[in-house]
Amino acid sequence: MNSIMKHQMNTKEWSLLLACSFLWGGSFFFIEVALRGLPPFTLVFLRVGLAAIALVMAARILKIQFPKSKTIILAFIFVGLTNNAVPFTLITLGQTQISSGLASIFNATMPIWTVIIAHLWTSDEKLTLNRGIGVALGFIGVGVMMGLDAFEDFNGTLTGQFAILGATFSYGIAAVFSRRFKAWGVPPMAIATGQLCSASIIMLPLVMIIDQPWTLPMPGPDVWAAIFGIALLSTALTYYLYFKFLESAGATNVSLVTLLVPVNAILLGVFILNESLELKHLLGMTIIALGLLAIDGRLFPKNRL
């Protein structure tokens, strides 16, 4: 059994886990509101751009030193792509087809991809019996949520679901890759700032070419409130906490935050946006939850192999 699986989270790490899940849960709500007045690429650019500005200002106040190594700068660009630009875009596009609550449920598959990628990419987080059971349950849960007739009619809803799954796969790549920042001695604030600045640069040409934001009507106050909410709370603050959590608890534990995200997202969607969820979605989420508990070693503690 590797060191990551032996790690038992302490009170501080549980607090970081709960904080990240609450803030990320709100992101699905904010996206749903912001899409009423902005196209997806512009929304993603404003999300990462405003978050980057906020973190640059905070880093200056805290006098955070940014590494100048070419290797680390390239790493910032890679994480900005896989942890921000790609997944944020896919999730936002997905939410043009499916509800915020359902999007958050599919987002809970991130630990499944993390386990698979870690097995292929690392030497110390190989697939175990618990993890194998967890991955199997996770894919069963996704299949239940999609439904037996999902592929009979490849419509927009199914496209939206696959977009969210693509985002979680990208998140999994980023989570495993980002472990190396600890060995490089890069502080969490520098990682969060570096990746968001990189994501902003990546998104800028897409926004200019595809959305041409200067031709769009000015968004209303509710849309602007959602933009600042997702940029400052669900992105800037969350990623600072995320990388502190990753540094302390490891990739496997940090990916478990997505298990709690749907609870907050569903409550906001149901009570504020009047969204509804089908029984198959709740059943699939339950199966995924069992899979995550297996991955974490809590479902079959005697089989932590």
* pLDDT of the chain, 305 residues: tens digit per residue: 344 344 556 778 778 878 888 888 889 889 999 999 999 999 999 999 999 999 999 999 988 888 889 999 999 999 999 999 999 999 999 999 888 878 887 887 887 888 888 888 776 667 777 777 877 887 788 777 766 655 554 556 788 889 999 999 999 999 889 888 988 989 888 999 999 999 999 999 999 999 999 999 999 999 999 999 999 999 999 988 888 887 777 666 666 677 667 767 777 777 777 776 678 777 877 887 787 677 666 666 654 44
Is 50 inside a domain boundary?
A: yes
Domain count, the chain: 1
Helices and strands, counts by H and E, the chain: 16, 0
Write down the pLDDT at residue 305: 47
Joined together, the tokens standing for residue 144 give 């239940």
Distance CA(203)–CA(55), nearest Å, equals: 18
Joined together, the tokens standing for residue 243 give 């990388």
Record the pTM.
Answer: 0.81
Write down the pLDDT at residue 81: 97
Is 250 inside a domain boundary?
A: yes
Is 209 inside a domain boundary?
A: yes
Distance CA(84)–CA(200), nearest Å, equals: 9
Is 292 inside a domain boundary?
A: no
Is 290 inside a domain boundary?
A: no
Q: Please enumerate, as own/partner, the contacts of 42-46 that have beta carbons within 8 Å and a separation of 24 or more.
A: 42/207, 42/211, 42/213, 42/216, 43/92, 43/227, 44/85, 44/88, 44/89, 44/92, 44/203, 45/200, 45/203, 45/204, 45/206, 45/207, 46/227, 46/231
Its domain, for residue 204, covers 9-107+151-281
Is 101 inside a domain boundary?
A: yes
Is 143 inside a domain boundary?
A: no
Please name which of 174, 209, 228, 235 lies closest in space to residue 39, comparing C-alpha atoms.
209
Distance CA(34)–CA(30), nearest Å, equals: 6
Distance CA(39)–CA(216), nearest Å, equals: 9
Is 123 inside a domain boundary?
A: no
